[in-house]
């Protein structure tokens, strides 16, 4: 049973436009959420995170929004750049000694 779901396997966006990647979760015990970016044959790199006490966190071109009532979070990238083309993973953590749970990823293609 998938606790973290990324329902869109892929997304194509034009350069300069906004990219919106979505993630849903089912476990109400999750209280910390992260986004990772991954290029082929490399390890994921941490992008941005958000605690459940917030509903928005910004870092440069990246903003993560959290809607706890809907158990939904999204990553906005604006403006999108060709270097943003990668697979993006959503991850969630519950309090206590439990590892991160990852979604299956969304492949973003930014077209010049």
CB of 112 to other proteins, least distance (A): 26
CB of 60 to other proteins, least distance (A): 17
CB of 28 to other proteins, least distance (A): 16
Considering the complex, state which of residue 65 and residue 102 has its C-beta at the smaller distance from other proteins: 102
In angstroms, rounded to a whole number, what is the distance separating the alpha carbons of residues 46 and 89? 10
Considering the complex, state which of residue 77 and residue 105 has its C-beta at the smaller distance from other proteins: 105
CA angle 106, 56, 100 (to 5 degrees): 50
In angstroms, rounded to a whole number, what is the distance separating the alpha carbons of residues 8 and 23? 9
Nearest CA-CA partner of 80 in 7, 6, 21: 21
Residues that bind other proteins in the complex, under the rule CB under 8 A: 9, 31-32, 34, 36, 41-46, 49, 51, 89, 91, 93-100, 102-105
């Amino acid at each position: 049973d998938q606790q973290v779901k990324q329902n869109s396997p892929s997304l194509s966006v034009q350069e300069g436009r906004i990219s919106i990647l979505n993630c849903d979760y089912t476990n109400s015990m999750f209280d910390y959420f992260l986004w990772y970016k991954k290029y082929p044959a490399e390890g994921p790199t941490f992008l941005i995170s958000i605690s459940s006490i917030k509903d928005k966190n910004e870092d440069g071109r990246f903003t993560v929004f959290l809607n706890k009532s809907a158990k939904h979070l999204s990553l906005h990238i604006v403006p999108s750049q060709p270097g943003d083309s990668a697979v993006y993973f959503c991850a969630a953590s519950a309090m206590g000694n439990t590892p991160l749970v990852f979604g299956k990823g969304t492949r973003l293609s930014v077209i010049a």
